[in-house]
A and B are shown apart, each in its own frame.
Chain A
Amino acid sequence: MTTAEVAAVPRQQAGDRYALWLRTVDHKDVGILYLLTGVAFFVIGGLEALVLRLQLAAPRQGVVDPHLYDQLFTMHGTTMVFLVMVPLLIGFANYLVPLMIGASDVAFPRLNALSFWLTLFGGLLLYFSFVAGGAPDAGWFSYAPLAERAGSATSGVDYYILGLGVAGAGTIIGAINLLVTIALLRCPGMTFGRLPLFVWMVLVTSVLILGAYPAFSAALVMLFLDRHLGAHFFDGAGGDPLLWQHVFWFFGHPEVYIMALPAFGIISEVVPVFSGKRIFGYRFMAGSAVAIAFLSFSVWAHHMFAVGLSTAENIFFAVSSMLIAVPTGVKIFNWLATMWGGRIRFTVAMLFAVGFIAMFLIGGLTGVTLAVVPIDWQVTDSYYVVAHLHYVLFGGTMFALFAGAYYWWPKMTGRFLSERLGRAHFWGTFIGFNLTFLPMHWLGVQGMPRRVYTYPAGVGWEGSNLAATIGALVLGLATLVFLFNAARSLRGAPSAPADPWDAWTLEWATTSPPPTHNFEAAPAVRSARPLWDRKHPDLPDR
């Protein structure tokens, strides 16, 4: 062997490693690709948010010009919804569902890889808009007629249509794959009554995706026809701008639960394990998710109370929106009852889970106030809504995702994250989050509209805006701590055993990380907590 050949070997191997990631169809690898994509876009979307906050730190600033500001807030929202939360949740689902149901992979591994690549390339297509003449600038919900060519002349909205259409196709395919996997690949004994609640939530979420995403895809095609072929679906001349809103929110509100239900699933795994108790009210936890899914398709027009619907329509959507608080409340009460009487270990995962419960509670309660039509007439489209939605999606979903990250990190990497750095990450996130978003409730009540690139001085908005900007910087620092923690852990040697948390579901029955086919011996289960049964033969679950 010549020297050149010897030197070429490691490079070749490194190249192979990357090639493996490109052609992998293993659900765990695809899950990790989803998670990495979500984290990368989380950093990008977070930086966009930081620019927005710097611009709003004081009145009449010129950190960015208004054109760029509009692109940044549009991309921030679009990125966080479609390229961060959905990919992160699907990433966890991809990695965990086959393991949790005792399967060796998803039903259609190749299709699974296709879903991921469509999502990634949809995201890249969306971001290509920045160099193709300007990013979309009509908001993440792209209201017509502003999103028509007359209102938004750059190609930004076209990239929004194409990028989200492609990513959405990936999401739809992924949902079918997960549904079939859960329906057909459960191991012996894994009845629907024994599915881990995370799997239940993924199941319900997949049904929601199949109901909601196609409507959005259709709306995107219609908008494309309007913009390029002279159709008039959504303009004010012949078409109806409210049609876009109806179709968009018919997708958009289930989308909120598509982002929330898997988060509920993560919390329903983390809280019992670290409380040392089985989940309280398993059937009610699964059933309430089904109730939420049904209701979520009949609440969309609560986003439209100010557009001038009839009183009857307003009252209908107010009632359905209030009703959705009931199954959501059932979940919160059952988590509390799970903790009650337990033996609570405050790991970082558990801290984030408890933080989730408190923050999501705030988001849920402000959500009920927004369902009250006259209150909505005052605070909709104001910073109150910005506060509300971030309590649901950041205080809710992102906190749950962080809980899941700390909980399953040892399983995925074979290594531990530092709990000390993790606690710094948690407290930085908790404090930064509340400092950013709590004052926004007040800003909305005081009359500050959303999506303004600046605001006048002397109307009483300075203090809250400055606090929010400082909070956003704290959030940014906390996220750096997380990324540092992750990088440090990956450089260390593997040390995680199969079941580091004394947990109960099947993913902990195999090595960390699991082998390609997940389980050396095909598992069989007799309850929702197979590992509990194994550890407590005297006291098995029934």
Chain B
Amino acid sequence: MRPSAEAIADLALVVGAIALGIFLLVTGVLLATMWRYRLRPGAPEPRQIAGDLRLEIGWTVAPLLALAAVFVLMLGTMREIGASLPIAADTDRIPLRVTVVAHQFWWEYRFDGGAVAANELHIPVGVPVELDLVAADVIHDFWVPALAGKSDIVPGKTNHLRLFARQPGTYEGACAEFCGVQHAWMRLVVFAEPEPEFDRWLAVQGAARQAPAGEAARGEQVFLRNVCVSCHALRGTGAAGNGAAPDLTHVGGRTTIGTGVLRNDAAAMRAWLADPQRYKPGSAMPLVRLDPGDLDALVAYMESLH
């Protein structure tokens, strides 16, 4: 088994080579014609030719044959990718199934067993992962080019996409269907890692938050006192959220803030919490005025949530 992106890349190379060949042939003839038959002094009146049936048949049939070849190649690739997603209903054959919920403008991942993650997906290397794609509001699209082709995520419908990573690594992607004002910052990242590492990550995502200490503990109180809790869930604190904002239980372990808009470190977290609309105008995250001490505590808390 290989990532479907590799199968598509192979197909695209062949089809691209055919297209390039046709382009070179036709423009070659065009340029040669332009040069050879350019107006020159004393050139005689051209012969007036109405057409040629054999030529017409020839340049109707030749492209048909090329397209037939492309079509057969396409069917082969579709078969390899498993065009009839999802793989029936026999879930036994699917070692790992993840429900992806696309929101304006962030990603939610739900695993069997209760683990929940946001924006960054981890998958085990060498294991096919079946994604059930559902939309929370408008149409989105899950696209990680180096792993697989894209699939739209349409309200009222569950789409399916299979990810398979052969190599460990960081695979970047993005929402690929225009979904509103912050479509640009609906980036996504897939971390493919060896299975033990993935299992550890999954266990962490399934667990409640680690009890904070020191300034972070004060930060938790700030979090619970403010409007944060009306949207964000944070397991272990009683904050259940409303499902419209990312689960923050392990936010400190993510590499970015705001679905890709900022790299996740304390300074960026502080800037983000101080004025989210500056970095992601139009997103649902409101500006919550905090005094500097509370803000520092909240930042310490967020960064402690690994």
Among B134-152, those with CB < 8 Å from A are: 135, 137-139, 141, 143, 145-146, 148-152
Known contacts A138-B178, A276-B45, A284-B56, then 20 further A-B pairs from the complex at CB < 8 Å, ordered by chain A residue? A67-B281, A70-B181, A241-B155, A241-B156, A242-B157, A306-B152, A306-B176, A306-B177, A307-B152, A326-B64, A332-B26, A357-B30, A361-B23, A375-B15, A376-B149, A377-B8, A377-B149, A382-B143, A449-B183, A450-B178
Flag if B34 contacts A381 (CB, 8 Å): no
Flag if A368 contacts B70 (CB, 8 Å): yes
- A343 and B260 in contact, given A336-B30, A354-B34, A372-B70 (Cβ under 8 angstroms): no
CB distance from B236 to the nearest CB of A (A): 32
- Complexed CA–CA distance, A403 and B139 (Å): 40
Flag if B145 contacts A447 (CB, 8 Å): yes
Residues of chain B within 8 A of A361, CB atoms compared: 23, 26-27
- Complexed CA–CA distance, A112 and B83 (Å): 50
Whose C-beta in chain A lies nearest to the C-beta of B22?
A365
CB-contact partner of A235 in B11, B141, B155, under 8 A: B155
Residues of chain A within 8 A of B16, CB atoms compared: 369
Whose C-beta in chain B lies nearest to the C-beta of A376?
B149
Chain A 281-325 interface mask (CB, 8 Å, partner B; 1/0): 111100000000000000000000011100100110011001101
- A278 and B184 in contact, given A241-B154, A306-B152, A341-B37 (Cβ under 8 angstroms): no
Residues of chain A within 8 A of B159, CB atoms compared: 307-308
Whose C-beta in chain B lies nearest to the C-beta of A152?
B180
5 residue pairs bridging A and B, Cβ less than 8 Å apart: A281-B55, A330-B56, A343-B39, A343-B44, A369-B12
- Complexed CA–CA distance, A449 and B5 (Å): 17
- Complexed CA–CA distance, A456 and B45 (Å): 60
- B77 at interface by CB-CB < 8 Å: yes
Chain A 342-380 interface mask (CB, 8 Å, partner B; 1/0): 111110000000100110011001101100111111101
Residues of chain B within 8 A of A66, CB atoms compared: 181-182, 184, 281-282
- B175 at interface by CB-CB < 8 Å: yes
Which of A118-126, A143-151, A253-261 touches B? A143-151
- Complexed CA–CA distance, A376 and B29 (Å): 29
Among A122-179, those with CB < 8 Å from B are: 137-139, 143, 145-146, 150-151
- B187 at interface by CB-CB < 8 Å: yes
Interface centre among A332, A381, A455 (most CB of B within 10 A): A381
- A515 at interface by CB-CB < 8 Å: no
Give the size of the chain A interface in residues (CB under 8 angstroms): 89
- A236 at interface by CB-CB < 8 Å: yes
Chain A 514-542 interface mask (CB, 8 Å, partner B; 1/0): 00000000000000000000000001011
Residues of chain A within 8 A of B8, CB atoms compared: 374-375, 377-378
SS class, residues of chain B in contact with chain A: mixed
Among A441-471, those with CB < 8 Å from B are: 445-447, 449-456, 459
Which of B46-54, B193-201, B224-232 touches A? B46-54
- Complexed CA–CA distance, A452 and B156 (Å): 25
Flag if A236 contacts B156 (CB, 8 Å): yes
Flag if A306 contacts B141 (CB, 8 Å): yes
CB-contact partner of A368 in B19, B78, B260, under 8 A: B19
CB-contact partner of B51 in A280, A311, A318, A455, under 8 A: A280
CB distance from A390 to the nearest CB of B (A): 17
* Interface size, B (range): 35 or more
- Complexed CA–CA distance, A206 and B48 (Å): 31
Whose C-beta in chain A lies nearest to the C-beta of B4?
A374
CB distance from A27 to the nearest CB of B (A): 31
- A145 and B46 in contact, given A344-B39, A365-B22, A375-B8 (Cβ under 8 angstroms): no
Whose C-beta in chain B lies nearest to the C-beta of A532?
B48
Residues of chain B within 8 A of A315, CB atoms compared: 75, 78
Flag if A343 contacts B143 (CB, 8 Å): no
- Complexed CA–CA distance, A308 and B39 (Å): 54
- Complexed CA–CA distance, A443 and B110 (Å): 31
Residues of chain B within 8 A of A372, CB atoms compared: 11-12, 15, 70, 74
Whose C-beta in chain B lies nearest to the C-beta of A244?
B139
Flag if B51 contacts A146 (CB, 8 Å): no
Whose C-beta in chain B lies nearest to the C-beta of A358?
B27
- A277 and B23 in contact, given A242-B157, A381-B176, A455-B184 (Cβ under 8 angstroms): no
- Complexed CA–CA distance, A278 and B48 (Å): 6
CB-contact partner of A374 in B7, B48, B155, B176, under 8 A: B7
- A329 and B63 in contact, given A276-B45, A336-B33, A454-B184 (Cβ under 8 angstroms): yes
- B43 at interface by CB-CB < 8 Å: yes
